[in-house]
Amino acid sequence: MTSSRAEGPTANDAAVRLQEAADAITAGVERSLPGWVERQVARILDAWGRASGDDRRRAADAAVRAGVAAAARVTRELATLFALDVLEQRATPLEIVRTAYREPTEVLRDAGVPSVVRESFDERAWPDDEYGLVPRTLGDLGDAELGPLLLAWGMAKAAVLREGRSTPLPGPE
């Protein structure tokens, strides 16, 4: 008797790996994004160097709230992406995570921090990212374990597509 394991991975194996990667990305983003927002606001305020102590405290408090809001919004958008059939997914998790610049941008604008000079590619790719905050990788959020998850997700998605699966992924058990 030959098992499917002996013959190689099945479409269901790929779907399970895809769901596991999606769950790990969502959990990692939810865990890491609030701190990332706070660090980005502090980094830009430090570089600007003109915020008074009171202004800095207000911005730090606003960054805490913005981090929570960014994590909630981005994880909600990731959940929406991951709930779609793989054939209907038109974005990657990184594209969604890259929108996390919005919340710290508002904090910095409210603090009166002027825009920074950015490279022309960045200006074209993310015109609203006035402070150069867009994360380049998932690992940029401060969790080294997040970085390779995008590759794991992409490989699992490719395996699901290769197997011709076009039904919703199984939910958590």
Residues 105-130 pLDDT 10s = 999 999 999 999 999 999 999 999 99
Q: Which of 142, 33, 148 is nearest to 96 (CA)?
A: 33
Q: Answer yes or no: is pLDDT of 82 > 60.
A: yes
> What angle do the packed helices 147-162 and 11-48 form, to 10 degrees?
150
CA angle 44, 49, 53 (to 5 degrees): 100
Q: Please give the residue range of the domain that contains residue 76.
A: 11-162
Which structure tokens are listed for 37? Answer: 């927002």
Q: Answer yes or no: is pLDDT of 33 > 80.
A: yes
Query: Distances from the Cα of 104 to the Cαs of 37, 44, 56, in angstroms?
Result: 6, 10, 13
Look at residue 137 and tell me if it is in a domain: yes
Look at residue 172 and tell me if it is in a domain: no
When divided into structural domains, the chain yields a total of: 1
Q: What are phi and psi of 159, to 5 degrees?
A: -65, -40
N- to C-terminal Cα separation, the chain: 28
Look at residue 140 and tell me if it is in a domain: yes
Look at residue 168 and tell me if it is in a domain: no
Look at residue 127 and tell me if it is in a domain: yes
Query: Distances from the Cα of 103 to the Cαs of 12, 29, 66, in angstroms?
Result: 38, 15, 5
Average pLDDT over residues 31-47: 97
Task: Give pLDDT, residue 163.
Answer: 84
Task: Give pLDDT, residue 27.
Answer: 98
Task: Give pLDDT, residue 171.
Answer: 56
> Given pLDDT bands bounded at 50, 70 and 90, which one contains residue 12?
confident
CA angle 65, 33, 106 (to 5 degrees): 45
Average pLDDT, the chain: 91
> Given pLDDT bands bounded at 50, 70 and 90, which one contains residue 3?
very low
Q: pTM of this prediction?
A: 0.86
What is the rounded distance in angstroms from the CA atom of residue 34 to the CA atom of residue 59?
14
Q: Answer yes or no: is pLDDT of 165 > 60.
A: no
> Given pLDDT bands bounded at 50, 70 and 90, which one contains residue 6?
very low
Look at residue 6 and tell me if it is in a domain: no
What is the rounded distance in angstroms from the CA atom of residue 134 to the CA atom of residue 121?
12
Look at residue 115 and tell me if it is in a domain: yes
> Given pLDDT bands bounded at 50, 70 and 90, which one contains residue 10?
low
Residues 76-107: b if buried by 16+ CB within 10 A, e if exposed: ebbeebbeeebeeeeeebbebbbbbbbbbbeb
Look at residue 1 and tell me if it is in a domain: no
Q: Answer yes or no: is pLDDT of 93 > 80.
A: yes
Q: Answer yes or no: is pLDDT of 40 > 80.
A: yes
Q: Answer yes or no: is pLDDT of 102 > 80.
A: yes
Q: Answer yes or no: is pLDDT of 73 > 60.
A: yes
What does DSSP assign to residue 112?
T
